């Protein structure tokens, strides 16, 4: 699925935005993503390149289903064991292999699929003059999808690291990588980690 970066080298000011690589998705929870650990070496390779240009997000569930409104309430009534009053707090943490990079890497907590729903992320990127984002993490068809589309709407150059994403569904993972490369070809580039590392100035 990878292809050369059609819009040239990645600027030094780019940020690696790593989505929700958290213990609760690798531990024994209902939200287990079986191949998250398989992509971890590729995520680590991106992080090691520029830990100071890395932002990790964490998906933080509410205290309980009734402490949140709208369809999120119904969502958490479906997954009551994933709210913070039942979940071990350590489960919300980044994977230990990634946590060691904080700082200089930054962590942004979010309560929704897209981290751009939290003003802190956009403010941080604007202050740093960032115009290019490299996306990795989980899940390809949920939080990564929401993040990619938010970033496109905000005008960022978006580079999706094809071998540093994971999902519980191979079918929708593959379909989205195809969608990014075809329907969004002017705004989203899909490349493997080796290509990205070789192009990041």
Q: How does pLDDT run across 131-174, given as a tens digit for each residue? A: 999 999 999 999 999 999 999 999 999 999 999 999 999 999 99
Where on the phi/psi map is residue 21: left (φ > 0), alpha (ψ -120 to 50), or beta? Answer: beta
User: Do the beta carbons of residue 144 and residue 135 sit within 8 Å?
Assistant: yes
Distance separating alpha carbons of residues 168 and 170, to the nearest angstrom: 7
Return the bridge partners of 149, or none.
none
Question: What are the strands of the beta sheet with 157-166, ordered from one edge?
Answer: 106-110, 54-59, 15-19, 132-138, 157-166, 188-191
Phi-psi region of 140 (alpha: psi -120 to 50; beta: other; left: phi over 0): alpha
147, containing H or E segment: helix 143-153
| pTM for the whole structure | 0.95
Where are any strands of DSSP class E within the chain?
Answer: 15-19, 54-59, 106-110, 132-138, 157-166, 188-191
pLDDT tier, 3 (very low <50, low <70, confident <90, very high otherwise):
low
Q: Could you tell me the two tokens for 13? A: 């000011």
Mean per-residue pLDDT of the chain? 94
Q: Give CA torsion, residues 54, 152, 119, 110, to 10 deg.
A: -70
Q: Which CATH number fits domain 15-199: 3.20.20.450, 3.40.50.850, 1.20.1630.10, 3.40.50.300?
A: 3.40.50.850
Looking from the CA of 193 toward its CB, the CA atoms found within 13 Å total 18
Is the model's pLDDT at 52 over the cut of 50?
A: yes
Is residue 1 scored above 60 in pLDDT? no
């Amino acid at each position: 699925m990878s292809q050369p970066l059609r819009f040239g080298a990645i600027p030094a000011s780019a940020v690696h935005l790593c989505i929700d690589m958290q213990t609760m998705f690798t531990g024994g929870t209902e939200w287990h993503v079986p191949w998250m650990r398989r992509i971890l070496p590729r995520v680590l390779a991106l992080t090691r390149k520029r830990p100071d240009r890395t932002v990790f997000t964490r998906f933080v569930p509410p205290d309980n289903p009734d402490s949140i409104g709208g369809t999120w309430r119904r969502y958490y009534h479906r997954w009551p064991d994933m709210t913070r009053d039942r979940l071990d707090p350590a489960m919300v943490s980044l994977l230990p292999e990634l946590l060691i990079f904080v700082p200089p890497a930054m962590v942004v907590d979010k309560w929704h699929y897209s981290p751009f729903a939290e003003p802190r992320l956009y403010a941080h990127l604007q202050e740093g003059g960032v115009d290019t984002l490299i996306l990795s993490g989980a899940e390809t068809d949920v939080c990564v999808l929401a993040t990619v589309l938010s970033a496109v709407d905000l005008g960022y150059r978006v580079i999706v690291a094809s071998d540093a994403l994971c999902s519980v569904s191979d079918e929708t993972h593959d379909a989205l990588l195809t969608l990014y490369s075809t329907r969004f070809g002017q705004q989203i580039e899909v490349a493997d980690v080796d290509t990205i590392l070789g192009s990041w100035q």
